[in-house]
Amino acid sequence: LSVSTVPTAPIAGQKPGTSGLRKKTKEFMSENYLANFVQSVFNTLIEMKTPVQGGTLVVSGDGRFWNPEAIQIIIKMAFAAGVSRVWCGTGGLLSTPALSAVIRARGKGFESFGGFICSASHNPGGINDDYGIKYNCENGGPSPEKMTDLMVEWTAKIAEYKICDKIPDLDLSKPITYDLGDGKSVEVFDCVEDHLAVLKTCFDFDSIRGLISHPDFSMTYDCMSGVQGPYAIKIVEGELGAAAGSCKNAVPLPDFGGPESAWHGHADPNLTYAVELVRDMGLNKEGLPIASDKPIPKFGAAADGDADRNMILSSQFFVSPSDSLAMIVANSDLIPQFKDGLKGCARSMPTSGALDIVAKKKGIECFEVPTGWKFFGNLMDSGTHYFPDKKTYTPFICGEESFGTGADHVREKDGMWAVLAWLQILAKKTEKSGKLVTCEDVANEHWKEYGRNYYARYDYEGVDKAKAEEMMKMMSDKAGSLAGQEVGGMKMKTNDIFEYVDPVDGSVSKNQGIRYIFEDGSRIIFRLSGTGVAGATVRLYLEKYEAADGSLNQHQFEVVKPLAAIALELSQLQSYTGRETEHILN
Ligand code: VG1
Ligand code: CO
């Protein structure tokens, strides 16, 4: 195949954030933008002695606007870089967890070294919205920081890229193998099959089918016009027998429904954006019950654009993501994947401590990592060949407050896995009790045993970046000074800047958020988002613990309100950012 070398020059700002490189779509479409970044990834891989030459690479995405064009460009560049075989899901679609499954499962026995996920995840898609790309490694997980740092170095010195521009654009709409000569091929396969095969090893599908056919059970799964549609239809309706139509908005759209959709193209499964689902489950956007003129399903779920996020509901009941994680771990003995015992679990730092309480009681190793799925990878890999001389923490469950939950069957958060984990727990509990058990029942039982970590996250979006950074600096400069002092009538125990030392490879990640932790376990956390494409988003995380013999059925947003007042005082947020109102998320 003939390879063209195209001269180029560095483009500023090509720095991956919490989860890959995300920018405005038009910026990505501008001359050489995508090519510069993709070549920088290949240069990094070659520098790291990854077997690019003769290797197999996965390329697909969440179906967003410009993906078809971007995928064709990446294919042509991959062959120019020496790759022998490119794998794509049908339609160029693979959800983020499915792509991880493809690298790990289909990749076995091949010189498979990784994959490009063309997605900006929950960010809206379209020519005027957001685009993104992320490189996942041989283990199926996001590139670690030491690798993205190298990528950034390459983007700053790139002078040329290579592309096989004589290859015609290929039709990826159905399963097919293209033999391009010179030992190069592109193979398109059904986008669901690998992920489904992995999930079948995790769960007892027969038992879930039993729950779904229970006369009192009903469910709805809102795919929000993201990539989950084909997976939900095939797995939930097809394999598990949910009634046709249980999966809503199940056709992936390039703009996730765009401005006309009830969620304005924000395919983000939370109380604010998943408006159709939240309404159908008989709730308002504060998660409070509202009257409904239709029968309310017994179980509800939603997914984001790339289907790695999940929201779990039962009739008129919202399961907060931090609680969901703790409850799955508490009931992990009901999930076949963990039949030999769960060895480890982890949460991101801002995620509530509900998990820690369960882990302690059950004697499971529990870790606190910075925000972003890439930090879970080493812990999960500790049980495989990657770190053979280290202690093993797998099997492993982990999650984040941002509606992300998963386990070590793949190396990404997995929206479908979370839904099946809940269905599995409900199925086993229903089998045992003889009458239908709901998420609400599981939650009430859980709180009575472990107490409840009331929680909320406030987002301040589109804030002036310099002002937000100034505010963070003010708090950082003072970090430590408040420990031991009385603030807002409560004694502060810890006041620091969160720093993480990876227990497996010792790498250090500094500056991962400002923490105010009180004697009673209440927490106030500030950090800046690393997934936005314009300005800054300040995230404020609030948590208050109520013991098992306390008041367990209050509204979470009300319980943490006094903490919010303290947080605003500590940060002087209103005077720094001029913001009076926040966006309460979970
Ligand atoms: C957010 C969430 C984080 C999550 C990340 C990627 O990051 O807080 O928990 O891992 O999005 O999720 P940030 O830096 O904006 O807070 V996804 O589904 O957009 O890949
Ligand atoms: Co996502």
The reply to whether 243 and 341 lie within a common domain is yes
Active site residue 60: no
Residue nearest (by alpha carbon) to ligand 1 atom 11: 531
Give the distance (Å) from ligand 1 centre to CA of residue 197: 27
> Under 8 Å CB-to-CB from 362, ≥6 apart: which residues?
329, 330, 342
The reply to whether 493 and 414 lie within a common domain is no
Domain boundary among 162, 191, 220: 191
CATH number at residue 26: 3.40.120.10
Residue pointed to by tokens 């100034």: 470
The reply to whether 133 and 253 lie within a common domain is no
**Nearest to 231, CA basis, from 86, 420, 68, 67:** 420
Q: Which helix (H) or strand (E) holds 535?
A: none
Residue pointed to by tokens 């990592």: 369
Per annotation, catalytic residue among 40, 121, 225, 314: 121
Distance CA 222, CA 458 (A): 24
Q: Report residues whose beta carbon is within 6 angstroms of any ligand 1 atom.
A: 18-19, 121-122, 304, 308-309, 348, 371-373, 400, 402, 404, 529-531, 539
**Beta-bridge partners for 431:** none
Give the distance (Å) from ligand 2 centre to CA of residue 485: 39
Cis amide linkage into residue 562, ω under 30° from 0: no
Ligand with minimal distance to 321 CA: 1
Domain boundary among 397, 423, 450: 450
Neighbouring residues of the ion ligand 2, judged by CB less than 5 Å? 121, 304, 306, 308-309
Token pair in block for residue 391: 């202690």
Per-residue pLDDT of the chain (586 residues; tens, 9 = 90+): 899 999 999 999 999 999 999 999 999 999 999 999 999 999 999 999 999 999 999 999 999 999 999 999 999 999 999 999 999 999 999 999 999 999 999 887 777 789 999 999 999 999 999 999 999 999 999 999 999 999 999 999 999 999 999 999 999 999 999 999 999 999 999 999 999 999 999 999 999 999 999 999 999 999 999 999 999 999 999 999 999 999 999 999 999 999 999 999 999 999 999 999 999 999 999 999 999 999 999 999 999 999 999 999 999 999 999 999 999 999 999 999 999 999 999 999 999 999 999 999 999 999 999 999 999 999 999 876 566 677 888 899 999 999 999 999 999 999 999 999 999 999 999 999 999 999 999 999 999 999 999 999 999 999 999 999 999 999 999 999 999 999 999 999 999 999 999 998 899 999 999 999 999 999 999 999 999 998 999 999 999 999 999 999 999 999 999 999 999 999 999 999 999 888 887 6
**Nearest to 130, CA basis, from 44, 66, 79:** 66
The reply to whether 107 and 216 lie within a common domain is no
Pocket test for ligand 1, best of 18, 417, 460, 498 (most atoms within 8 A of CB): 18
Give the distance (Å) from ligand 2 centre to CA of residue 160: 32
Token pair in block for residue 394: 């797998």
Looking from the CA of residue 121, the nearest atom of ligand 1 is: 19
The reply to whether 206 and 69 lie within a common domain is no
The reply to whether 396 and 471 lie within a common domain is no
The reply to whether 168 and 281 lie within a common domain is no
Ligand with minimal distance to 400 CA: 1
Residue nearest (by alpha carbon) to ligand 1 atom 1: 531
Give the distance (Å) from ligand 1 centre to CA of residue 310: 13
The reply to whether 128 and 255 lie within a common domain is no
Token pair in block for residue 469: 């950074």
Residue nearest (by alpha carbon) to ligand 1 atom 20: 121
- Tell me the residue range of the domain where 272 lies: 196-450
Looking from the CA of residue 413, the nearest atom of ligand 1 is: 18
Q: What angle do CA 258, 260, 266 make, to 5 degrees?
A: 40
Supply the ipTM of this predicted assembly: 0.99
The reply to whether 305 and 392 lie within a common domain is yes
CATH number at residue 462: 3.30.310.50
Give the distance (Å) from ligand 2 centre to CA of residue 307: 6
The reply to whether 503 and 520 lie within a common domain is yes
The reply to whether 299 and 419 lie within a common domain is yes
- CA torsion through residues 60, 61, 66, 68, sign: positive
Residue nearest (by alpha carbon) to ligand 1 atom 17: 121
Structural domain count, the chain: 3
Task: Please say whether the beta carbons of 398 and 345 come within 8 A.
Answer: yes
